[in-house]
Structure 1
Amino acid sequence: MGETMELRNGLVRVPASLPQLPRHAEAGERVYQLAISLLERVLRFQGIRVTARGVENVPQFGPALLAMNHTGYYDFIFGEIPAYLRGRRLARFMAKKEVFEVPVLGRAMRAMRHVPVDRAAGAAAIDEAVDHLRSGRLVTIFPEATISRSFELKDFKNGAARIAYTADAPLIPMVTWGSQRIWAKGGKKNLGRTGTPVLIYVGQPLELSGDAAADTAALKAAMEELLAQARAEYEAEYGPFPPGQPWQPAALGGTAPTLEEANRMDEADRARKAREREEKAARKRAKTERKLDAKLAKKVRKAWRRLRKER
């Protein structure tokens, strides 16, 4: 884009004008910093080439809510990079509670102070995110609430606008492009040394009105603009790409499902998972009932034996 770029941390290309800041107090959080160090090694092993723009929009101190698009499972890695470039700051991700139920991973997520989200009852997650922001921390949220199979922006939930306004914290739009080439939902995993390029764009904080619907619409519009810029740079820098790429949206000539098709696939997934939860609950109830029946039968047999002895 005509500006001088330089490599930071031996991994991320940024504009040379981006200030190098002293370490934030969060640089002393050992568990999270260790996790970042390990993930950096993963990215280097894979030869991932990351370029980040607009990083200066992440505050050096104080809170901010970073709202990010969601196209792949590596988004949690790339979403931390802008914060880390600001004096090794840390972002607390809002992630579905099922992740926290995985034995080892869940313990690590809690140690890093990420926020579990129960999609059936999200009030607790909102309160926890607000508490983080009021304590001066950074929080990252996926307004789409799930990975987009179409690689387009899905409908947004209004949680990001509500959290930022309640906490009186800046709401900052952020997008990544290229992450879906590494590991997307339902797609092929490319976890070897692929050399995949990834772009991260961070926008300026939004002016919030307190109207959750209007602020959410403004957030989506800002992220759509950033995403268009990222896609244009990606094509100019690393393309042209032949048509029929599985990681490209249908509107750009790719074979990814359209947004409507992806929504239907997501709905089918939700219905399947609901059935599986109900079947699991039914099996658990049946098992409990069998145990109770067995205990009752045992008691009846004991009572019958006593009755026979008394006769």
Structure 2
Amino acid sequence: MILKTGTKPLWNFASWFIITSTVLVSKFFLKFCTSSYNVYNQEPFIKTLMDPNRTRPILTVANHLSTLDDPLLWGSIPFKNFLRRHRTRWTLGAQEICFTTPKLSKFFALGQVIPTIRGAGIYQPAMNFALDRLNEGKWIHIFPEAKINQTTELIYFKWGIGRLIMESINPPIVIPIWHKGFEKVMPKERDHTWIPLFGKNIVIVYGDPIDFKDILINYHAGKTDEATVRIIVTNIIFNTMTKLKKNSELLEAKKI
């Protein structure tokens, strides 16, 4: 399926309506359907996202706990962010889950979800499309584990994250996000896996922006080979996410 990037007013309005409506539902769920939800260190991300002078794209990265991670994560963001469609995220979504029927396909396409074929590699059309959006200065969000992981340990990240960072014309500002609790909202091991559970505790921790500019300067100057840089970039993000996980545990321990 080929997505539209929004040149027609009707498509733009429909996309904005789907995104803002979904965000409002997410905000309602976080506020009224959870026992508690706490958000930490969000200010640097919001400042970067809302900066009118920003020229670089944004790439957010998060662990993947459930089918509702996106959009519930964005229910924690001030609603004014979504009043302008160009400030809303594009994200990769599994084609076999999000694009199985014409109606679902239309809904997710309007919601700026990019149909991704699992196992098709880092050079598939979905990755090319995401790279194009980064080159337009947009915000891309990915789950680099590439599947739902409700264990206590991160799955090592797929190489696609390295490609998006390395091949962007203007290196993206990378912001890691660690969250906890959505695996209890949508646990996999139960009869009705499509119905969210209420009354759970949600924690969302934003990391500080990661800048790969210096690493990429050496890469583009031919001083470092592609495979090495891809490993370095992926390792940095993976290790940052691991530290963010530990930090979230410390933040929650202080509240007890």
1:286-301 superposed matches below 5 A: none
1:90-239 superposed matches below 5 A: 90-98=88-96, 99-122=98-121, 123-167=124-168, 168-187=171-190, 191-194=196-199, 196-208=200-212, 209-210=215-216, 211-237=229-255
Contact 1:177 1:231 in 2 (8 A): no
Root mean square deviation, CA, Å: 2.6
Contact 1:78 1:200 in 2 (8 A): no
Q: Corresponding residue for 1:79?
A: 73
Superimposed CA distance per residue, residues 119-161 of structure 1 (whole angstroms, 9 cap, x where no aligned partner): 2324211111111122222111011000113132111112112
Contact 2:39 2:203 in 1 (8 A): yes
The whole-number CA distance in structure 1 between the counterparts of 2:30 and 2:43 is: 23
User: How big is the shift at 1:95?
Assistant: 1.1
User: How big is the shift at 1:218?
Assistant: 0.5
The whole-number CA distance in structure 1 between the counterparts of 2:161 and 2:77 is: 18
Superimposed CA distance per residue, residues 271-304 of structure 1 (whole angstroms, 9 cap, x where no aligned partner): xxxxxxxxxxxxxxxxxxxxxxxxxxxxxxxxxx
Question: Does the residue aligned with 2:81 lie in a helix, a strand or coil?
Answer: coil
Q: Corresponding residue for 1:293?
A: none
The 1:114–1:71 alpha-carbon spacing in structure 2 relative to 1, beyond 3 Å, is: same
Question: Does the residue aligned with 2:125 lie in a helix, a strand or coil?
Answer: helix
Q: Corresponding residue for 1:308?
A: none
Residue from 16, 21, 27 that aligns with 1:34: 21
Contact 1:68 1:79 in 2 (8 A): no
Instruction: Output the amino acid matched with 2:155.
Output: K
Instruction: Output the amino acid matched with 1:207.
Output: D
User: How big is the shift at 1:164?
Assistant: 2.2
The 1:57–1:85 alpha-carbon spacing in structure 2 relative to 1, beyond 3 Å, is: farther
Instruction: Output the amino acid matched with 2:17.
Output: R
Structure 1, unpaired ranges of 5+: 1-24, 239-311
The 1:223–1:84 alpha-carbon spacing in structure 2 relative to 1, beyond 3 Å, is: same
User: How big is the shift at 1:179?
Assistant: 1.5
Is 53-62 or 135-144 further displaced after alignment? 53-62
Q: Corresponding residue for 2:4?
A: none
Question: Does the residue aligned with 2:179 lie in a helix, a strand or coil?
Answer: strand
Residue from 51, 57, 77 that aligns with 2:44: 57
Instruction: Output the amino acid matched with 2:44.
Output: N
Question: Does the residue aligned with 1:87 lie in a helix, a strand or coil?
Answer: helix
Instruction: Output the amino acid matched with 2:146.
Output: A
Contact 2:18 2:110 in 1 (8 A): yes
RCO higher in 1 or 2 (8 Å CA, sep ≥ 6)?
2
Higher Rg of the two aligned structures: 1
User: How big is the shift at 1:107?
Assistant: 1.2
Structure 2, unpaired ranges of 5+: 1-11, 217-228
How many residue pairs align between the two structures? 212
Question: Does the residue aligned with 2:162 lie in a helix, a strand or coil?
Answer: helix
User: How big is the shift at 1:84?
Assistant: 4.7
Task: Please give the TM-score of this superposition, normalised by the length of structure 2.
Answer: 0.73
Tell me if 1:67 matches 2:67. no
Instruction: Output the amino acid matched with 2:196.
Output: L
Contact 1:46 1:191 in 2 (8 A): no
- Percent sequence identity over aligned pairs: 21
Question: Does the residue aligned with 2:172 lie in a helix, a strand or coil?
Answer: coil
Is 171-180 or 84-93 further displaced after alignment? 84-93
The whole-number CA distance in structure 2 between the counterparts of 1:192 and 1:185 is: 12
The whole-number CA distance in structure 2 between the counterparts of 1:141 and 1:92 is: 9
User: How big is the shift at 1:117?
Assistant: 0.9
Contact 2:175 2:207 in 1 (8 A): yes
Task: Please give the TM-score of this superposition, normalised by the length of structure 1.
Answer: 0.61
User: How big is the shift at 1:229?
Assistant: 1.1
Contact 2:30 2:75 in 1 (8 A): no
